[in-house]
Structure 1
Amino acid sequence: MRTAEIKRRFLAHFEANDHTVVPSAPLPAIEDPNLLFINAGMVQFVPYFLGQVPPPYPRATSVQKCIRTPDIDEVGKTTRHGTFFQMNGNFSFGDYFKERAIALAWELVTKAQSDGGFGIDESALYASVYHDDDEAVQLWKRVAGLPDDRIVRLGKKDNYWSMGIPGPCGPCSELLIDRGPEFGADRDWDAGDRYMEFWNLVFMQNLRGEGTNKEDYEILGPLPKKNIDTGMGLERVAYMLQGVNNMYEIDEVRPLIDKASELTGKRYGVSSGRTAESAHPDDVRFRVIADHVRTSLMLIGDGVVPSNEGRGYVLRRIMRRAIRAVRLLGYEDKALPELLPVARDCMAPSYPELEKDFERISAYAYGEEDAFRATLRQGTTILDTAVTQTKQAGSTVLPGARAFELHDTYGFPIDLTLEMAAEQGLSVDEDGFRQLMAEQRRRAKADAQARKTGHADKSAYRDIIDRNGPGQWLAYETLRTDSRVLALLRDGVPVPVVVAGQVAEIVLDKTPFYAESGGQHADAGVITTPGGTAEVVDVQRPVKGLVVHQIRVTEGEIGVDDTADAAVDPEWRLGARQAHSGTHVVHAALREVLGPSALQSGSFNRPGYLRLDFSWRSKLSDSTRSEVEEVANRAVRRDLPVAVRYMPLAQAREIGALALFGETYDETVRVVEIGGEWSRELCGGTHVEHAAQIGPVVITAEASVGSGQRRVEAVTGLEAYQYLARERDLVSQIADELGAPRNELPDRIAALMQRAKDAERELAALRAKQLRDDAAGQAAGAALVGGVRVAALIAPPGTSGGDVRNLAQEVRGHLPQDQPGVAAVVATAGGKASLVVAVNKAGVGHGLSAQALVKAALSGRGGGNADLAQGGGVPAAQADELLKSVTAQIGPA
């Protein structure tokens, strides 16, 4: 049974039992500061379990995409774990509890495949329960007919579930399958291979506090309602039903191993008969490739892009481990163009959007491989320098600090460093490297802990909702409301009153202010009460259902329970509407000109200004940029209608509404259309009624913001007019200065630039002649150092890089050619010093190397060859030290 069919049957079973089918949340855990990625099926339902938000349905079912990355370096060493996996789940929010959960699970697992079940042999099934959960034991006997010897009681470590952080928890009961004596001893519950757990039924009823491991944490108290949360590992069920031994052999993974084997000429399965601890390195690499390529596909599909921080860094690391593993198997060409389409074909039956979006996904992936291949070349050069310096120092151990620098700064994997150092007869100080890595992890853990405090600080906002319920948000309907002050906070602490000069947060029972979201800046305006006036400087939604205004009190005082006149600045809102609709228009124009792969990956707009990030690999030409601008303005001139519709998320996807990657959407979504299908996007922002109200759209900038990502900036409405007016005034000023008509300005400016270039060339020729004239004198003053003539000098101020090289070669040419000679020249510019070293033929024959002298003086930086090399980047104040370093390397005076 294919994995996609297992997923379909699971959802169909629970839908038939009155569960709402909920789509998987995107992998990035955007709404939970404790998590980088969704790591369990229940994460998107946490607010319902905690009672923070009323659940929109009493029962739900989903197949959630998950990522777990605590030990990426361990992936592939066993056949049981990977980074990406799928968790089938069914959930009850205060509806049914233990008995119904057990009955539903047992029915699906044991029902015949011809009747839509999984058809697993009942005699092979066991259940584990929390050691003192007598109720669960009795239910397994009554509902499933399990005898006592197939029910096992286990402790808190195995059968008491939590997310690993403060939050919902409770005792659980697991369904196990006996895989037979070849996988372990009889009734050896800890072996992990024979009695494999594949479905965990969590009886979620408590709230846990902080802790250090799976057993050491405090139970804070009961949840508002008893809930059910189950998790069935889709990959585990797949290899049970497909007759294979592990997740790497199922239909969604094994084709990647087979393709990697085809590319490399290596055979998978060398570890057959070995223990996990002695797995053959090639098998580990095959599994790393299969797991990481699939994971990369899913992460990019959900909007994560490679970067040097956060989720993007995790993705980059995963991709680079896969690319490196292919290389270590002997395949030197680009691998992802061969492997990623295989992963797409494996996963598309379950996630058809991957096929539709593959052009964008592959652009990021292939670009990252290109960048890493360049990194490997650069890292190899740096490693070679480090190896040379280590050998020159008489050591056979590469310092851990250099290995860490290669890993952390250049993305050079440690095992590649180990391998390449060994090829040159060196070992690596792995203990020093691991210590530095541990320090980095401690810093990252501290950062994660800091994120948790932000999560805890929301309790004051939740208290407001508990007391008053969600407020009325009327930003779409009106710019003014008669309201009541529900709460005031300063530094997160409730206060009864705020006075003139203070900055505070205010919560109203109803508000017309737009809270910042979807890239749109919050509204500005004024809140007036009988006793005071406040300027609204920001509006946010710290928790779902609550709008919080940051205010600066300008007059009098404002107190809790005051009546309030809340008024949005109409000019501000008009400009914001123009900019947000303008963002949609520019996005549609980009897609019309560049094609459908130019998809938005982020945006920001405030009154009169917008910026939009989109997927594209190269700079837009001037003509392309002008074409995008023209398409946008033609849409404005046609006065395309702007319509807002609410519909189910599934329907929005069917009609092609575009969504921002990585965002989480409710079941009912707001679709904004400009010109019907020409621009159709999911959006919660404020918009104009007709495109002509946007006013002119002027693109002011276009630049790169990362690998495979570009950004356009534009102005709209009155701000666009003002921008064009400034451009007009600037052109007029230039025309007046040059005394030329506007239409002649390009030719006149080109002529001036040519004259400037001619003057620069003449000046350069004069400078070069002066340097040549000085070269003989500098060579004549060369010192004798260890039998070598050394001319060390600092170039005159303003000497260009090319002139410095010429000077070094000129001086070298004037040194005696029958005697070893070195010319070392340092130039300073922009606060930095650069070094050029030239060695004559006699010097090279004497064993001197310009490259070695430069790299030693610059701590590994620089490049060249034995007779000419250069480098730089150190502070200008070190100019004298550079010359002294070169001289000291040659020998004593």
Structure 2
Amino acid sequence: MTSALTTAEIREKYLSFFEGKGHLRLPSHSLIAPDPTTLFTVAGMQPFKPQFLGAAARFPGHEGERKRVTTAQKCLRVNDIENVGRTLRHCSLLEMLGNFSFGDYFKRDAILFAWEFLTGAEWLALDPAKLHVTIYKDDQEAFDVWTRECGLPEERILRFDADENFWPADAPAKGPNGPCGPCSEIFYDRGPDFGSDTWADYQETRESARFLEIWNLVFPQYDRQDGGVLADLPYKNIDTGMGLERIASVLQNVPDFYSNDVFLPLVTRVAELSGKPYEGVTSLSHRVIAEHVRSVSMTVADGVTLSNTGRGYVIRKILRRASRHAYLLGLREPVLHTLVGLVVERMGGAYPELRERQAEVEAAIRAEETRFLTTLESGTTRLEAILAKIEKGEMLSGTEAFTLYDTYGFPLDLTREIAEEYGVGVDEAGFDRALEEQQERARAGSKYGKSELFGDVQEALDEVARTHGATDFVGYEDLVTEGRVLAVVERGETLTRLPAGSAAQVVLDRTPFYAEGGGEVGDRGWLEWQGGRGFVRDTRKSPQGLFLHDLTVEEGELTVGASVRGVVDLPERLSTQRHHTATHLLHAALRAVLGSGVRQAGSLVSPDRLRFDFSHGATLTPEQVREVERLVNRWVQADFPVTYAYMSLDEARATGAMALFGEKYGDTVRVVSVEGGVPFQDHVVTSRELCGGAHVKRTGEIGSFVIVSEEGLAAGVRRVEALAGEAATAYVREQLTTLSDLALTLNTNPAGLAERLAGLQGQLRDLNAQVTTLRRQLTQAQMGGGAAQDVRELGGFRVASLRLTGVEASELRGAADDLLDRSGADLAVVASDRGLVVKASRDAVSRGAHAGQLVGKLAL
């Protein structure tokens, strides 16, 4: 077995191997997810979801369809972030080596490719006797390939149910509907030094430190339909993923990936900075810091900014966890940013954005670490004041520990460590109860849950949510309502008052302002109170379900507890509603005209326009665009009612309501329906979607609808931009005015523009033909009129040369052919101030003459 391969060498071998098998090598996609279903890219296949859903396999910069692709994809998975460092197998950031087939090769070739790469002498050269696999219990085809063609003994193959060897897990019984299929996982036996268990034991335990999963081959071959029906897909795909960190630990013969050539320098540097050596399993903090600094560096280099929401919230949480562990190692000054250079050194070759943005990454990490150290210091001061009042041998209450955790962002394990120094225990059971109660309150509004790692504004908002609950949104029906100020937050700090000229985020108990979500922008408008008024420039929603109004006070002073009157900007909201309902109709029309493979991939709904991204593999024809536009306008003209209802997710699906692909929904959903359909070909098209946005009450309120543009956004993803209502009318008027002005310039009327332009194009073609004829005549005149020719012996070949003047490069090739014929030479060289051409006779070519090489030398 090869043991000296670096991680970079393994990555390159993998990509080179599959290039040799006809795969197109593509660069890693950004960690920012290419679709709206996740915040981050979490799998190697994710950038290719359009192709797996049936879009044409076309990629920018590469001609034609490319149905075989290979990548080394950086992925970020944060669902079990607390396990990173605690185990030796968890990573938040990982590199997934993948090979993909979109309707090309299938199961047999995928297995044989994997076997060749793993065991081939010129590739990884793993001992075949140490490889084991699992398969889906009913996948006889995979079993036959492994045993008959790879020679794998039957006893090294385990069969598992769909919960283990099917993708998505347990799809036949539980769904979701859509593409799915069995998978086959490849394991490597690391030997008895890693455990005394046998491969047969894995059938029962499904856990092993000895048998390490290194590759998963997924075979999407079914379309899962209602009732658990598995229909064959029209064409079958391949999706495989091999964890680079895992295979590196095997090939480098190290106990875990923290000892490989990427992580070990980071772990070693942490030991040097802290003065505490790395001692393997017990050195949790060293591992957390090394892994998290790598993750944050890669993500910030991809453009994620540390913030209080979305992706920025998650990355901030990861960085604060690393900072906390640096604190536990005794590091009281910012040091994490000094590790970025090691990440760049080891990974910058494969991911050049790391080198390009190194200074920016270091600055972002340093600033955040400095802020969090201040939080830790303040929490420590409060904790020590509490501990000074507790007798040795007694317990710090779970409520006190949780208050430190929840309000001050102070970690429980740090509380435990400091309490031990005072001889005081911690009621961790009481802490767990308080934490569970808080999570239950926040769960409905928070996608990521609460963590001790995130302080600042979130701590203040958690307190507001605990006391008052989520904001009551009444803006579907009422655009003016009374409310009370619950909190004022500015730059992470809570204020009691906000004077004129100041700006901050204001939380109300009740609001008519729609918060940004589902592609729809947040409402704008005004807050009015006795003696004052302020402009709301945006509205957003916190994870706790609180509506945050970005307010600038224009008059008076706003105080917490004040009664206010919220007034939504009516014209803007009405225009936004027109565009949102039009977006639903556009979605339904696109599916009718292009087929049910169309799926939403993103949207923007604002007062002045709508933007809709969707999966589709080809440019829309002008007629398709017109047909989509006609269908939407038929709905508008029919003036159907638009209704909404709340129901369970299962009930919504039973009505045929469209849900976003991969989106997560709660038990109760809001279904927006257009109560009427429009005819298209042999059926009636309807619109019914899961949506929390604001809509018109009748389709006639949309007024008019026009598609402004249609373009490709990414591989297999298209974008339509459109206008509704007054915006559409203004756009059409502008186009008509431009048309009239153009017609006037060309001395005709709009109806005669096409004829006038056709005439001008004909004149232009005639002029071009005349110019071409004149150039040809000029060339022929020089050729036949004694233009300076030279024939001489060069390297055993007779070479004729000729210099022409005023001749275009496009004419030189014909001149070279003519010179070769006239002179009887072996090679002809024709030059002008516009270019150079060399032609060789067949005889000269057979004797080794190479016109292309000669051109290169002459051009120098």
Per the alignment, residue 69 of structure 2 pairs with: 60
Whether 2:46 is the aligned partner of 1:51: answer no
Whether 2:38 is the aligned partner of 1:38: answer no
- SS of the residue corresponding to residue 718 of structure 2 reads coil
> 1:468 is matched with which residue: 584, 587, 593?
593
Q: CA deviation at 1:223?
A: 4.2
CA distance in 2 between counterparts of 1:201 and 1:573 reads: 59
Whether 2:5 is the aligned partner of 1:5: answer no
- SS of the residue corresponding to residue 177 of structure 1 reads strand
- SS of the residue corresponding to residue 545 of structure 1 reads strand
Residue type matched to 2:328 in 1? L
Deviation digits for residues 195-222 of structure 1, max 9, x if unmatched? 2211110011235699xxxxxx956755
> 1:463 and 1:197, CA in 2 relative to 1: closer, same or farther beyond 3 A?
farther
In structure 1, runs of 5+ residues without a counterpart are 211-216, 272-278, 510-528, 555-563, 575-893
CA distance in 1 between counterparts of 2:179 and 2:431 reads: 38
Per the alignment, residue 753 of structure 2 pairs with: none
Q: CA deviation at 1:85?
A: 0.8
Deviation digits for residues 721-755 of structure 1, max 9, x if unmatched? xxxxxxxxxxxxxxxxxxxxxxxxxxxxxxxxxxx
Q: CA deviation at 1:158?
A: 2.5
CA distance in 1 between counterparts of 2:302 and 2:143 reads: 41
> 1:434 and 1:307, CA in 2 relative to 1: closer, same or farther beyond 3 A?
farther
> 1:105 and 1:307, CA in 2 relative to 1: closer, same or farther beyond 3 A?
same
Whether 2:189 is the aligned partner of 1:19: answer no
> 1:569 and 1:177, CA in 2 relative to 1: closer, same or farther beyond 3 A?
farther
> 2:125 is matched with which residue: 88, 98, 119?
119
Query: For this pair of structures, how many residues does the alignment match?
Result: 517
Q: CA deviation at 1:425?
A: 4.1
> 1:196 and 1:264, CA in 2 relative to 1: closer, same or farther beyond 3 A?
same
Per the alignment, residue 409 of structure 2 pairs with: 411
CA distance in 1 between counterparts of 2:612 and 2:213 reads: 50
Per the alignment, residue 424 of structure 1 pairs with: 422
- SS of the residue corresponding to residue 209 of structure 2 reads coil
CA distance in 2 between counterparts of 1:572 and 1:333 reads: 65
- SS of the residue corresponding to residue 156 of structure 1 reads coil
CA distance in 2 between counterparts of 1:32 and 1:108 reads: 34
Whether 2:290 is the aligned partner of 1:290: answer yes
> 1:256 and 1:445, CA in 2 relative to 1: closer, same or farther beyond 3 A?
farther
CA distance in 2 between counterparts of 1:223 and 1:395 reads: 66
CA distance in 1 between counterparts of 2:378 and 2:81 reads: 24
CA contact (8 A) 1:483 1:565 kept: no
Q: CA deviation at 1:337?
A: 3.6
Residue type matched to 1:48 in 2? Q
Per the alignment, residue 85 of structure 2 pairs with: 76
> 1:143 and 1:569, CA in 2 relative to 1: closer, same or farther beyond 3 A?
farther
Q: CA deviation at 1:313?
A: 2.0
> 2:271 is matched with which residue: 261, 264, 269?
261
CA distance in 2 between counterparts of 1:159 and 1:126 reads: 14
Task: Give me the identity figure in percent.
Answer: 39
> 1:290 and 1:219, CA in 2 relative to 1: closer, same or farther beyond 3 A?
farther
CA contact (8 A) 1:502 1:552 kept: no
CA contact (8 A) 2:702 2:725 kept: no
CA distance in 2 between counterparts of 1:38 and 1:16 reads: 27
Per the alignment, residue 162 of structure 1 pairs with: 168
Residue type matched to 1:110 in 2? T
Q: CA deviation at 1:37?
A: 1.8
Per the alignment, residue 629 of structure 1 pairs with: none
CA contact (8 A) 2:163 2:169 kept: no
Residue type matched to 1:79 in 2? L
Range moving further from structure 2, 316-325 or 148-157 = 148-157
Q: CA deviation at 1:363?
A: 0.8
> 1:89 and 1:532, CA in 2 relative to 1: closer, same or farther beyond 3 A?
closer
Whether 2:556 is the aligned partner of 1:552: answer no
Q: CA deviation at 1:232?
A: 0.5
Deviation digits for residues 70-107 of structure 1, max 9, x if unmatched? 22222212211121111100111111110111111111
CA distance in 1 between counterparts of 2:400 and 2:393 reads: 14
CA distance in 2 between counterparts of 1:427 and 1:218 reads: 53
> 1:201 and 1:75, CA in 2 relative to 1: closer, same or farther beyond 3 A?
same
Per the alignment, residue 329 of structure 1 pairs with: 329
> 1:489 and 1:537, CA in 2 relative to 1: closer, same or farther beyond 3 A?
closer
> 2:182 is matched with which residue: 167, 171, 187?
171
Aligned ranges 1:606-625 → 2 under 5 Å: none
- SS of the residue corresponding to residue 250 of structure 2 reads helix
Q: CA deviation at 1:173?
A: 0.8
CA distance in 1 between counterparts of 2:313 and 2:225 reads: 29
> 1:3 and 1:482, CA in 2 relative to 1: closer, same or farther beyond 3 A?
closer
Per the alignment, residue 203 of structure 1 pairs with: 219
CA distance in 2 between counterparts of 1:430 and 1:221 reads: 51
Q: CA deviation at 1:32?
A: 2.7
> 1:50 and 1:357, CA in 2 relative to 1: closer, same or farther beyond 3 A?
same
Per the alignment, residue 361 of structure 2 pairs with: 361
> 1:160 and 1:220, CA in 2 relative to 1: closer, same or farther beyond 3 A?
same
CA distance in 2 between counterparts of 1:306 and 1:209 reads: 41
CA distance in 1 between counterparts of 2:409 and 2:708 reads: 40
CA distance in 2 between counterparts of 1:469 and 1:130 reads: 35
CA distance in 2 between counterparts of 1:454 and 1:222 reads: 33
Per the alignment, residue 531 of structure 2 pairs with: none
Aligned ranges 1:877-892 → 2 under 5 Å: none
Aligned ranges 1:360-439 → 2 under 5 Å: 360-387=360-387, 391=390, 396-438=394-436
> 1:400 and 1:266, CA in 2 relative to 1: closer, same or farther beyond 3 A?
same
CA distance in 2 between counterparts of 1:72 and 1:122 reads: 34
CA distance in 2 between counterparts of 1:369 and 1:570 reads: 53
CA contact (8 A) 1:301 1:354 kept: yes
- SS of the residue corresponding to residue 11 of structure 1 reads helix
Per the alignment, residue 338 of structure 1 pairs with: 338
> 1:186 is matched with which residue: 181, 198, 207?
198
Deviation digits for residues 810-831 of structure 1, max 9, x if unmatched? xxxxxxxxxxxxxxxxxxxxxx
CA contact (8 A) 1:483 1:566 kept: no
> 1:447 and 1:59, CA in 2 relative to 1: closer, same or farther beyond 3 A?
farther
> 1:107 and 1:371, CA in 2 relative to 1: closer, same or farther beyond 3 A?
same
> 1:192 and 1:169, CA in 2 relative to 1: closer, same or farther beyond 3 A?
farther
CA distance in 2 between counterparts of 1:3 and 1:99 reads: 28
CA contact (8 A) 1:293 1:319 kept: yes
CA distance in 2 between counterparts of 1:331 and 1:249 reads: 23
In structure 2, runs of 5+ residues without a counterpart are 59-64, 450-514, 520-580, 599-610, 614-618, 644-672, 681-699, 739-860
Q: CA deviation at 1:340?
A: 2.2
CA contact (8 A) 1:421 1:428 kept: yes
Whether 2:302 is the aligned partner of 1:302: answer yes
> 1:487 and 1:159, CA in 2 relative to 1: closer, same or farther beyond 3 A?
farther
- SS of the residue corresponding to residue 71 of structure 2 reads strand
Per the alignment, residue 759 of structure 1 pairs with: none
Q: CA deviation at 1:445?
A: 6.5
Q: CA deviation at 1:339?
A: 2.1
Q: CA deviation at 1:316?
A: 1.5
Per the alignment, residue 135 of structure 2 pairs with: 129
> 1:231 and 1:396, CA in 2 relative to 1: closer, same or farther beyond 3 A?
same
Deviation digits for residues 394-445 of structure 1, max 9, x if unmatched? 9954444443443344332221122223333443343343344445555456
Deviation digits for residues 466-513 of structure 1, max 9, x if unmatched? 432399x99999x9x9944546569xxx94744499999999x9xxxx
CA contact (8 A) 1:537 1:552 kept: no
Deviation digits for residues 784-824 of structure 1, max 9, x if unmatched? xxxxxxxxxxxxxxxxxxxxxxxxxxxxxxxxxxxxxxxxx
CA distance in 2 between counterparts of 1:372 and 1:163 reads: 39
Residue type matched to 1:170 in 2? G
CA distance in 2 between counterparts of 1:572 and 1:340 reads: 57
> 2:262 is matched with which residue: 237, 252, 267?
252
- SS of the residue corresponding to residue 204 of structure 1 reads coil
CA contact (8 A) 2:707 2:720 kept: no
CA contact (8 A) 1:29 1:36 kept: yes
Residue type matched to 2:704 in 1? A
> 1:108 and 1:427, CA in 2 relative to 1: closer, same or farther beyond 3 A?
same
